[in-house]
């Protein structure tokens, strides 16, 4: 009996981590997504350690991961039929759907509360606006009657907004009050980059999403079409990022483009083989392709600080 209790707790913790998508390399990628804006606005590493900034970074990470248990609770059917995601469905069933929904609600409330506190503290509404809009979109992505997940290109657009543009805007505002044109270009580029990356990420979910009735771009148009569009949008995002980094100099702008280009090149290679009968595996994509993306994400955090 005593030996079963730690085992049950360990299984519960593993399930909790799984429904929050905290397996490699997601924790590092989530951290990059909230650091992008803060690093761009920083005048030095010390800018990132001010209490309002740290609280805002934490609030945005919580806001990002809060949608994962909500999605896990609602997408059990799709995840059961998606290679590599069956463990998310099992983890949700182990904890219960109600527990997943409770986690999402508490985390959203915490993120919103902290961001409003900092916004009032600094007198900068954008800190809270970014988090609040992200939470609204999390609900719209997952819940009927809107459910953006099944509405074609609104699906990747949601990820571009909530996993890149809005958290970066919120953390930028926590560090700096004004947002110059070059910063808007950079933040927009991040959103476009995540649009392309998320469009690519929906491809291995094609079978599960089709069975669940979610009309993602991969379901509607096929995996090859989705991959071509994902590559084009990713390339566009890189151009915006380069333009946003241009004030730092040509070297840093080109480095920013090249940092994330490795991921794009890797996806272009798939065009020759991808089909409905030959879909990439979620686990392989996560460990290989997202590792490439993670390297680029980390460098995009570092460039504004290195270029000072």
Q: Are 19 and 92 in contact (CB under 8 A)?
A: yes
* CA-closest candidate to residue 128, choices 114, 107, 142: 114
d(CA 172, CA 188): 13
d(CA 98, CA 55): 28
**What number is the average pLDDT over the span 151-157?**
89
Decide which of 289 and 102 is more confident. Answer: 102
Q: How far is CA 96 from CA 78, 139, 162, in A?
A: 16, 19, 26
SS3 151: strand
Decide which of 179 and 86 is more confident. Answer: 179
Decide which of 10 and 305 is more confident. Answer: 305
105 Cβ contact list (under 8 Å, min separation 6) = none
User: What is the predicted pLDDT for the residue at 82?
Assistant: 67
User: What is the predicted pLDDT for the residue at 1?
Assistant: 46
Q: Which of 87-96, 214-223, 297-306 has the lowest mean pLDDT?
A: 214-223
pLDDT tens for each residue of 177-217: 999 999 999 999 999 999 998 888 777 777 777 776 667 78
The number of helix segments (H) and strand segments (E) in the chain equals 16, 0
pLDDT tens for each residue of 254-308: 999 998 888 888 878 777 777 676 666 666 777 777 888 899 999 999 999 999 8
Q: Which of 17-26, 56-65, 115-124 has the lowest mean pLDDT?
A: 17-26
Is pLDDT above 70 for 127? yes
Q: What value does the mean pLDDT of the chain take?
A: 89
User: What is the predicted pLDDT for the residue at 7?
Assistant: 56
pTM: 0.90
Q: What is the distance between the terminal CA atoms of the chain, rounded to a whole angstrom? A: 59
């Amino acid at each position: 009996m005593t030996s079963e209790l730690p085992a049950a707790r360990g299984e519960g913790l593993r399930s909790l981590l799984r429904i929050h998508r905290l397996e490699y390399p997601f924790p590092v990628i989530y951290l990059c997504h909230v650091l992008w804006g803060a690093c761009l606005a920083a005048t030095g590493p010390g800018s990132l350690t001010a209490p309002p900034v740290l609280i805002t970074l934490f609030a945005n990470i919580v806001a990002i991961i809060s949608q994962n248990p909500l999605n896990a609770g609602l997408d059990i059917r799709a995840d059961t039929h998606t290679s590599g995601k069956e463990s998310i469905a099992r983890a949700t069933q182990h904890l219960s759907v109600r527990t997943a929904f409770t986690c999402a609600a508490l985390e959203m409330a915490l993120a919103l509360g902290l961001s409003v506190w900092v916004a009032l503290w600094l007198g900068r509404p954008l800190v809270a606006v970014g988090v609040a809009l992200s939470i609204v979109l999390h609900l719209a992505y997952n819940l009927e009657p809107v459910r953006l997940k099944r509405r074609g290109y609104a699906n990747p657009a949601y990820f571009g907004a909530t996993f890149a543009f809005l958290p970066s805007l919120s953390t930028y505002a926590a560090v700096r009050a004004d947002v110059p044109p070059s910063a808007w270009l950079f933040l927009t580029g991040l959103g476009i980059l995540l649009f392309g990356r998320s469009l690519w990420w929906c491809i291995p979910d094609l079978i599960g999403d089709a069975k669940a009735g979610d009309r993602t771009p991969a379901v509607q148009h096929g995996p090859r079409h989705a991959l071509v569009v994902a590559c084009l949008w990713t390339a566009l995002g890189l151009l915006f990022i380069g333009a946003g980094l241009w004030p730092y100099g040509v070297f840093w702008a080109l480095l920013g483009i090249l940092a994330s280009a490795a991921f794009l090149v890797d996806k272009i290679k798939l065009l020759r083989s991808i089909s409905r009968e030959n879909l990439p595996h979620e686990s392989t994509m996560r460990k290989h392709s997202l590792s490439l993306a993670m390297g680029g994400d980390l460098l995009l955090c570092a460039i504004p600080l290195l270029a000072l």
